[in-house]
Amino acid sequence: MNKEKQECDTAQLCETCAEAGTCSEKEKQAHEERRLKDRLYHIRHKIMVMSGKGGVGKSTVAVNLATALALDGFRVGILDADIHGPNIPKMLGLELYQLMGTGDGIRPVEFYPNVKVVSIALLSGDSDAPVVWRGPLKHAMIKQFLADVEWGDLDYLIVDLPPGTGDEALSVAHLIENVDGSVVVTTPQEVALLDSRKAVGFSRLLKIKVLGIVENMSGMTCPHCGKEINLFKVGGGETAARNLMVPFLGRIPIDPEVVTMCDQGTPLVLSKPDSAAAKVFFGLSQAVSREMERGEKEKAEQSPVRGGGS
């Protein structure tokens, strides 16, 4: 049979397929595209966590959001799309683990409870060596993380993007095609807010629903006198959300426990679920899942084949 006309029915990677030598580059590309679509089909909701600036707590929010969703019974994956500064494995205590290759792709590392994790930091090698890659290489890596990872059936894929609106954010948005929403993390001071507006603008440009803004490092309670200290001011994220007409998803206080738990590799929602900061993370996960449910219901209602009616 003419190979051009023959459908590839192997679920294998082209690299490990015995037939690969007989396929043209165009066919291989088509197989890759199909693998990507197949993998994404099994993931109900894809959420990007973004920030305009680095160091505002984006990865902290991503791991706590993912873990809170998992504690609510959802099957969750975290894709660490921060190729140059991948922190997710450290924040989940997974630095000693590695991604494993199988005939069908890459097996993600599992974090309790029910969270699958993929990050460039989980590839073997020198963790101190900088990744010096240009856009196309990063795009290829992110594509592989989406198409070749055995994500299985997931309710949520949380994508932790690097700060800003550069190559990785564009790659994720283009490869996934139908990202369900973005969560923008900011700190309350003006410079961070300015950049977070760009993250909101980026989402809108790519027609990705902005689920809302989280204001992190928003005030702290002095451990000695109990007085409130507004180190980076307070309320700026909420004002930005109002001005930009997107939901405000909560204010996370500065809490030294967040740093300790990040460094120890345990998300706060697991280690201190009753803390004020953890409660905001739980509220965030509930807001996200509520919004996703609402969206699904809306889609079902708009579907022409609903309820067996006319």
User: Contact positions toward ligand ADP, by CB under 6 A?
Assistant: 51, 54-60, 87, 216-217, 252, 254-255, 258-259, 262, 277
State the Cα–Cα distance between residues 130 and 132, nearest whole angstrom: 6
Cβ closest to ligand ADP, residue 85 vs residue 295: 85
From the CB of 51, what's the least distance to ligand ADP, in Å? 5
C-alpha 28/C-alpha 35 separation (Å) is 10
105 or 212: whose CB is closer to ligand ADP? 212
Whether the Cβ atoms of residue 104 and residue 10 lie closer than 8 Å to each other: no
**Amino acid (one-letter) located at 302:** Q
| Adjacent-strand bridge partners of 106 | 101, 149
Is the CB of 119 or the CB of 216 nearer to ligand ADP? 216
Q: Which CB atom, from 208 or from 254, has the smaller least distance to ligand ADP?
A: 254
DSSP code at position 99: -
Number of H helices, E strands in the chain: 10, 12
Tokens at residue 254, please? 């500065």
Among 296, 220, 203, 205, smallest CA distance to 259 is for 220
Q: How far is the CB of 55 from ligand ADP (least distance, A)?
A: 5
Name which of 49 and 210 has its Cβ closer to ligand ADP.
49
Going by C-alpha positions, the residue among 245, 281, 244, 242 that lies closest to residue 261 is 281
Nearer Cβ to ligand ADP (52/108)? 52
Cβ closer to ligand ADP: 114 or 186?
186
CB of 57 to ligand ADP, least distance (A): 3
Do 279 and 251 form a contact (C-beta atoms < 8 A)?
Answer: no
- Render 156-216 in DSSP notation, one character per residue: EEEEEPPSSSSHHHHHHHHHHS---EEEEEE-SSHHHHHHHHHHHHHHHHTT--EEEEEEE
